[in-house]
Each structure stands twice: as structure tokens, then as C-alpha cells.
Amino acid sequence: MDYRYGSHTVFNIQYHFVFVTNYRYQVLKGDVGLRARELIRETCQAFEIEILKGVVSKDHIHLFVSAPSNMAPSEIMRRVKGRSSTKLFESFPDLKKRYWGRNFWARGYFCVTSGKVTEEMIKEYLDHHFEPKVDDSFRTEY
């Protein structure tokens, strides 16, 4: 497994995000799509979020990332969507006419975790994790 390391942590946290343009306008093509991809890459790099795979479609973006353990999915989306929205409006002033409310991205997003350790693997490990002379008062079965 490819674990990442922090100053006091070892982790492997992966998220699959999908987020859409406001009103599902198909504006992520050509230069706008390329600039959005560039901005998302810059933002992720600044916050040590590793992009494992990404796809820019006409009206939505898929991101599969490995994130630091101290960063919540909502924080990742806030940073990625917020910074890219502001910079896209600066780079392409014509977008302001279409998005008069200054909201380039739709409000919500889809997020699902991904990992290589399954629930069954964890339960199996815990079932067979015995140490000599351990106080079993902490051990409970769920």
C-alpha cells in the first residue's frame, strides 16, 4: 500500500469528488476547461492534495484525490471551488454575464471515500488481535 506520512501520522485517505457548474451550463470546454484544470491542479498542490485522476467534462468535474489526514472533504471542496471560481471570473470576464450571481460552481458536490482496506479486513484483524496479559474490560463485541 502507498501510505502518506505527516509529522505524526501515517495515512491513506482517498476521495472521489464530482462537482458541477451552476445551472449545469456547459462552459468547461476550450480555454475555460483548460484554465479550470490548471487552477484545480495549483490549488491541490498548494494544500498537499495529490490528484490521482481527474476528468474535466463540459458541465462537471471528477476528481480522485489522496488528501492529508487533517483536511475534511468539505474543506477540500471549499478551497478548490472557491479559488477556481474567483480566478475563472478574473480570466474570463464574459462568464460574469452568464453567472450574474458570481457563483460559478453549483452549491453541492458528490463525495465518496475509497480505500484498499475493507470493512471485513478490519474486523478480521481486530478479531485476531490479541496481546498477552491484556485487560479484556476494554474489549467489547459490536
DSSP for 67-103, please give it: E-TT--HHHHHHHHHHHHHHHHHHH-TTHHHH-TTS-
Predicted confidence (pLDDT) at residue 133 exceeds the cutoff of 60: no
**Cα–Cα dist 105/5, whole Å:** 32
pTM, two decimal places: 0.83
pLDDT digits (tens, 9 = 90+) for 14-72: 999 999 999 999 999 999 999 999 999 999 999 999 999 999 999 999 999 999 999 99
d(CA 9, CA 7) in angstroms, rounded, equals: 6
- Which residue among 3, 15, 23, 125 is the active-site one? 125
Q: Is 125 an annotated catalytic residue?
A: yes
Strand order of the β-sheet with 13-20 is 50-56, 60-67, 13-20, 110-114
